[in-house]
Structure 1
Amino acid sequence: MSDHPAPEPRLRLVFGGDAMLGRLVNDAIGLHGPGYPLGAIAPLLRTADLAIVNLECAITASTRQWHGEPKAFYFGAPPQAIESLTGAGIDLVSLANNHALDFDVRGLLDTVDALDAHSIAHAGAGADLQAALRPVIVERNGLRIGMAAFCDHQEDFAAGPARPGIAWLDLRDEPAALAAFSRALDALARADVDWPILSLHWGPNMAWRPSPRFRRLAHAAIDMGWKILFGHSAHVFQGIEWRNGAPIMYAAGDLVDDYYVDPTFCNDHQLLFELQLGPDKVERIVLHPLFIADCRTIRADSAQRAWIFRQMSELCAELGTPVHPDAHTLVIAPPA
C-alpha cells in the first residue's frame, strides 16, 4: 500500500490523452454502439468532477477531406460518436490538434456544434482566430477551472481573423509562444479562474521524453502562473515533473485509438491521470493503468500494469519525481 494516505480532495480532475474515434474505431461504434470504445473505463471518468481529453478527430457526417496539402491519415468519426464522449462522462476537450480539420472546415464546425449541443466544453479551435484563442471556463464545487489550448502542428490548420481553424503556435519561437501563454493566462485571471490549465498538443510521435525546449517552455508557463500543464501528441505517456508545486504532464498518451502497436513502444499500454486538488494546490496524482485492444480501452491486467508501472516510474525518476505503486495505481505526491 502507498505511504501517502489520500486526503479528502475538493476537486478531482481526470485527464485522458488523445481520443481518436475515427477509422476502425468508427467501424466498431457502428457494430457495437457508441459505448464500445470507452464504456469499460466510464466509471473512472464519470466519477471525476471534471474529465478532460484531447479530441483527436472530427465528429461529422461530411466526407470532404482537408482541402490543403494531402495528409497520411484523416480521422473522422460519425455524428453518433458524440455519444461515446457523453456516455463516458467527458466534460471538456481540447480541439487544438493536427486532426481537427481533417474533414475540412465543415468537419471542424460540425464538431463544435456537436460538442455545444451536448454541453461538452472545448478550447483551441473555432470559427475564427478569436474563438480558437478564447479559453474555456467551467465551474465545479464552487471553483472556476479554465483551459486554453494550443498546438504546434500543422501550420495550415491555423485559424485566422476570418478563417476557422486551430490555435496554432510555432514553439520554436519561444518568446512568441510565451507571450501567447501569458495573454491566455491574463484572460483567465480577469475571469477570476481558480485553476488555469494550459493544454499543449506538441512534439513528435513515439517520444518518451520531452525535449529541452519543451521543458523550458513548461517551466516558464508554470512560473508565470499556470497551475496545471496538460500535454499530449506523443501517443505514449511521458514522465510528470513538479514545478513550484504544479504538475507538468508532458504527454498523456492516448485514451483510445486504432493505431498499429509498435512492440518497441507498447503504445497500447496507457494511463489515465487523476489530479486530486485541495483548497489551493494539487494534493496528489493517481495514475490508472489502461490497455487499448480492438479499438476499446479497458483497465490493464496485472502483466500490463507491471510494465506500465516500471516504465512510468523510470520516466518520472528522470524528472526527479518519486512514484509510489499502490495495489492497482501509481501515486505521486507533491514535493514536501
Structure 2
Amino acid sequence: MRGPRKTYLLAMYLSVGLLTACSATSSPLSPSSSPSGKPAASPAPSGSVSAPPTASSSDDSKPEDVRPPEINTATLLAVGDVMVHSPQLPAYYDAKSNTYDMSPWFERVAPIFMQADWVIANLETPLAGADLKYTGFPRFNAPAELADALKGAGVQLVSTANNHSMDRGFTGIVRTLRNVRQAGLVPFGTSSSPEDAERLVIEERNGIKLGLLACTYGTNGIPVPEDKKYAVDLIDLPAIREHIHRLREAGADAVSVSLHFGTEYQRMPNEQQIAIAHDVVAAGADVVLGSHPHVVQPYDIIEVSAADSADGEPHRGVVIYSLGNFISNQSEEWQDVGLIFGIKLTKTTDANGESRTEWDAISLTPTKVHMQRVNKKKYYTILPMEQSIKAHNNPKLTAQDYTRMTKQLESLNKHLQSLVK
C-alpha cells in the first residue's frame, strides 16, 4: 500500500532582538510509497532535512549530534515455473532407498542463488505423496524430495497459488504445505486452515522486511470447496489491496506480489495482465512476479500517479510479466528457457528513525533447460545461458547446442527490454 514515512523538519528562525531566537516545530508529511529507481541504476539520493541548532545565550552550548543515515541493502531473485512432467522422474529414482534426488537439476544455478538474500520460485505442482500417485500433465503430483532439492539449491520461498494448486484437491494443498515447510521453505498463496490463511509472510534480510503474497487466476476448473475458500488465493483486487495494507501495517518495507496470470505460450502480456499489474502497483506493490505462460515475457516499469494510487502518493513498481519455465519437460521453442529476475532493495534509515526503501539494479539472467536422453532415461540441467556460453566447457553440449543457445540468448535479451521506454 504505502511505504515508510518521510519526515521533513522545517525550522524558521525569526530574529526578534539581540541574543533572542526561536524555532518552529516540525510537522510530518503524509506517508509515501516506497520510491523506486530505474533499471540497473541507483535511485536518486533522498533524505530528511534537519534544522541547524538554535542560537543559545550559553557559551558552553554544543551542536546537535547529526548522525549519517544507516543504509541496508538486500537482493531478491525470482524464478518461474517449477514443474515435474512424468519423463523427469525415472532417472532420479533410487530403487534401493525408494527416494528421488532432483538436486542435479539445480546444480548450475545454485551458486547464483547463494549470492542472493531472498530467492523465490513458483512451485507449480502439488507435493502430495506417492499414495496419491505421481503424475505429470494435466493434473500434477511430484515427490516431496523436490522441496529438499529446491532448498538445497538456495530457494527459500515458494509461491503455491497457481492453476495446479488443486490438482490433488484440498488434501494435496495440506500435504504440499506440510512438505515444503518440513524442507525449510516458506510457502505463500495457499492455506491449510482459516488460521493459516490469516498469516502474513514477511521475511527480513539485512534489516529489510519484505512482504509477500501470491494469487492465481483460477484452478483449471477444479473447484475450491465452498467451506474452504481460504485454501487458494485468487486474483481479487480489493483482497490484494487489503493484503498489501496489512503487510505494510505489520512493518513490511517493500512488497512483492506473485501473480499467476496471462495466456499460455504467448510471449507478450495481454491487456488484462497489463491492467492487473498496474492496479497491483497502484495498491502498493513494489515488485510483481508473473507466471503461467510457460514462456518468458518482458519486464516493465509501472508509474502510478498520486490520483491513481491507493495511498494518494505517486508510486513506482517493476513487473516481470512471465518468468517462463524454470524446470519442466517442455521443449518447444521458447518453452525450454526461463529467467532469473533480480532487483536490489535499499533501505535508508535517518537518525530520527524514519526510513524509506527503494529498488534498483534490475538483473536479468536467462536460463535454459538442457535435456539429454541416456539409456531411455532423460536427464535435466538448468543452465545459466550467458555463463555457459562464455565457459564453453560443458561436455554434454554439442556445437549445435551452443549455436542455438547463443541465438536464443540474443533474442531473449532484446525481448526482455521490449516494453521499457
> TM-score interval w.r.t. the shorter chain?
0.7 to 0.9
SS at match of 2:165: coil
Offset from partner CA, 1:16-48 (integer Å, 9 cap, x none): 001113523333332683311212211111221
Q: 1:30 aligns with which of 93, 97, 102?
A: 93
Moved more, 48-57 or 210-219: 210-219
Shift of 1:98: 1.6
CA contact (8 A) 2:120 2:156 kept: yes
CA distance in 2, matches of 1:76, 1:248: 29
1:239 aligns with 2:302: no
1:268 aligns with 2:336: yes
Shift of 1:137: 1.4
1:88 aligns with 2:153: yes
CA contact (8 A) 2:166 2:224 kept: no
CA contact (8 A) 1:135 1:149 kept: no
Shift of 1:309: 3.5
CA distance in 1, matches of 2:127, 2:296: 25
Partner residue of 1:329? none
Distance 1:218 1:89, change over 3 A: same
CA contact (8 A) 2:40 2:360 kept: no
Offset from partner CA, 1:266-300 (integer Å, 9 cap, x none): 21122211112222222211111211022321222
CA contact (8 A) 1:145 1:196 kept: yes
Distance 1:194 1:30, change over 3 A: same
Moved more, 243-252 or 154-163: 154-163
CA contact (8 A) 1:94 1:124 kept: yes
CA contact (8 A) 1:129 1:166 kept: no
Distance 1:312 1:161, change over 3 A: farther
Offset from partner CA, 1:69-104 (integer Å, 9 cap, x none): xx9512221122221111111110100012223223
SS at match of 1:251: strand
1:47 aligns with 2:115: yes
Partner residue of 1:286? 363
Distance 1:42 1:126, change over 3 A: same
Q: 2:171 aligns with which of 106, 129, 132?
A: 106
Q: What amino acid maps onto 2:151 in structure 1?
A: T
CA contact (8 A) 2:326 2:337 kept: no
Q: 2:224 aligns with which of 158, 172, 176?
A: 158
Q: What amino acid maps onto 1:291 in structure 2?
A: K
Shift of 1:315: 4.6
Distance 1:110 1:225, change over 3 A: same
Shift of 1:233: 0.5
Query: What runs of 5+ residues in structure 2 fail to find an aligned partner?
Result: 1-38, 44-70, 95-99, 304-315, 348-356, 372-379, 390-402
**Larger Cα-atom Rg:** 2
Q: What amino acid maps onto 1:308 in structure 2?
A: L
Partner residue of 2:58? none
Distance 1:266 1:85, change over 3 A: same
Partner residue of 1:298? 383
Q: Return the structure number with greater helix share.
A: 1
Moved more, 289-298 or 44-53: 289-298
CA contact (8 A) 1:125 1:164 kept: yes
Scaled by the length of structure 1, what TM-score is found? 0.82
CA contact (8 A) 2:214 2:258 kept: yes
Q: What amino acid maps onto 1:11 in structure 2?
A: A
Two-structure CA RMSD over aligned residues (Å): 2.7
CA contact (8 A) 2:263 2:270 kept: no
CA contact (8 A) 1:129 1:167 kept: no
Offset from partner CA, 1:118-172 (integer Å, 9 cap, x none): 2211111122466357541111111111111110022535365446731123xxx
CA distance in 2, matches of 1:78, 1:277: 34
Distance 1:160 1:182, change over 3 A: farther
Partner residue of 2:323? 252
Q: 1:192 aligns with which of 207, 232, 251?
A: 251
CA distance in 2, matches of 1:239, 1:208: 8
Aligned residues: 304
Offset from partner CA, 1:304-327 (integer Å, 9 cap, x none): 24423323423522x234xxxxxx
SS at match of 2:278: helix
CA contact (8 A) 2:133 2:141 kept: no
Partner residue of 1:57? 125
CA contact (8 A) 2:72 2:207 kept: no
CA distance in 2, matches of 1:27, 1:225: 44
CA distance in 1, matches of 2:287, 2:225: 25
1:143 aligns with 2:208: yes
Shift of 1:117: 1.7
SS at match of 2:110: helix
Query: What runs of 5+ residues in structure 1 fail to find an aligned partner?
Result: 170-176, 322-336
CA contact (8 A) 1:124 1:134 kept: no
Q: What amino acid maps onto 1:52 in structure 2?
A: I
Shift of 1:60: 2.8
CA distance in 2, matches of 1:4, 1:203: 26
Identity, % of aligned pairs?
23
